[in-house]
Structure 1
Amino acid sequence: MSEQTPITDVVFDFCGVLLDWQTRACLEGVLPQVFVDRICADDDPCGFFHYEDRMDAGEDFADIYPDVVREHGKEVAQVFRYYIEHYGDALPRMLPGMEQLLGDLNAAGYRVWGLTNWSHETFHIAFEKYPQLERLLRGTVVSGVEKMHKPNADIYRLAERRFGLTPAGTVFFDDTARNVAGAQAVGWHAFRFSDAEQARADLHSLGCAL
């Protein structure tokens, strides 16, 4: 049996992995709770997550906004505008243990990167609010900038070219199952993220010494 290719690069999604992303955190205390609960419901009755997905894929807010007005009315559209304009409030913290994990990976000689589905209009907020991320990551591929997005193979291949990744030597963490499957489909090691402790265990399972 051939030996496993050593891991050299570790790639992280942002929201739900490095950062706690909570739409509620932006809207609670601003809107009546019943309205917040409706907006944030899993079946997305107000389309917030659908419209944000469109922004993550590269569309501009100004182009999407008329659709929000037409499909859900001015009141919902105005709340969506508020949400995008106050996006930093939806990112209340880095997830526990993740800053330390990134630091330990860097100290151990691994190359650490970001790969996120995020709008080009709001991504800057992540580095402005959490500047340690820009210091700890060597680079980040942002879907809204590239106009390609996970789980499609093209964005993983772009990351390979840009960062000099070898698929068999790369590990990826994402909190969304389809994005994990997308990475695995192009030959990366990939794990669905739950918390920093499990991520360390997953890395150890591949022979990473931290």
Structure 2
Amino acid sequence: MANSPITDVIFDFCGVLLDWNTRACLEGKFPDDVVTAICADNDPHGFFHYEDRMDAGEDFATIYPDVVREQGEDIAQIFKYYIDHYADALPRTLPGMVELMEDLKRHGYGVWGLTNWSHETFHLAFEKFPRLEQLLDGTVVSGVEKLHKPNADIYELALKRFGLKAEQCVFFDDTAKNVVGANEVGIHGVLFEGALAARDSLAQLGVRL
């Protein structure tokens, strides 16, 4: 596989192409201690869990009663605010990533997206950062497909839909289990650690920019 020429590069969105920052959405709107708890890795209020359900294809309206029952009305209202103002949690594209995509396109490589994201909020990515939509040749969104990284089926769907061969693709994700999922279907999965490191990884795989 290592000798196969790379023809296409697939990118995750949040944490790779986009800065995803829950605190940026909530800070100053709700008590500091509550925001800190929500943004912690061990968030006792389950925001990531509920958002993960949305990413897998469930509607907000279906999930919201569970948030009320499990977390209480006050936390549920904060979660509703977060989803209603989701664009505020996307402050910027990550440094160097638009330029990397532009360089890949300029040199004839395919550039694609594969993201765990709710079908109800994904449109905000392209509305806020239209250059991403211009550069990507296509994107598979988990919440639309009701499939979810790191399960093999979503990678296989992306390969089929984009008309790609796994061994000729590189996939960048900031979550280790999603990288493993890509590797398991034959894609060169790489843990994202910034644009410069991504360029180094691509160069090691034979991509010339």
- Scaled by the length of structure 2, the TM-score of the pair is 0.99
Instruction: Indicate the residue corresponding to 1:201 in structure 2.
Output: 200
Instruction: Indicate the residue corresponding to 1:42 in structure 2.
Output: 41
The CA deviation at 1:34 is 1.0
Please tell me the root mean square deviation across aligned C-alpha atoms, in Å. 0.9
Runs ≥4 residues deviating over 2 A: none
For 2:145 and 2:43, the matched residues in 1 are separated by 26
Corresponding pairs, count: 209
The CA deviation at 1:3 is 7.6
The CA deviation at 1:152 is 0.2
For 1:58 and 1:204, the matched residues in 2 are separated by 36
Instruction: Describe how 1:49-88 pairs up with structure 2 within 5 A.
Output: 49-88=48-87
Instruction: Indicate the residue corresponding to 2:119 in structure 1.
Output: 120
Identity fraction in percent: 69
What secondary structure does 1:121 align onto? coil
Q: Which runs of 5 or more structure 2 residues have no equivalent in the other structure?
A: none
Q: Which runs of 5 or more structure 1 residues have no equivalent in the other structure?
A: none
Instruction: Indicate the residue corresponding to 2:191 in structure 1.
Output: 192
For 1:138 and 1:89, the matched residues in 2 are separated by 26
Instruction: Indicate the residue corresponding to 1:166 in structure 2.
Output: 165
Instruction: Indicate the residue corresponding to 1:148 in structure 2.
Output: 147
The verdict on how the C-alpha distance between 1:205 and 1:3 changes in structure 2, with shifts beyond 3 A counting, is closer
- Scaled by the length of structure 1, the TM-score of the pair is 0.98
Contact 1:151-1:182 at 8 Å conserved across structures? yes
Q: Deviations over 1:173-203 (max 9, x none)?
A: 0000000000000000010001000000000
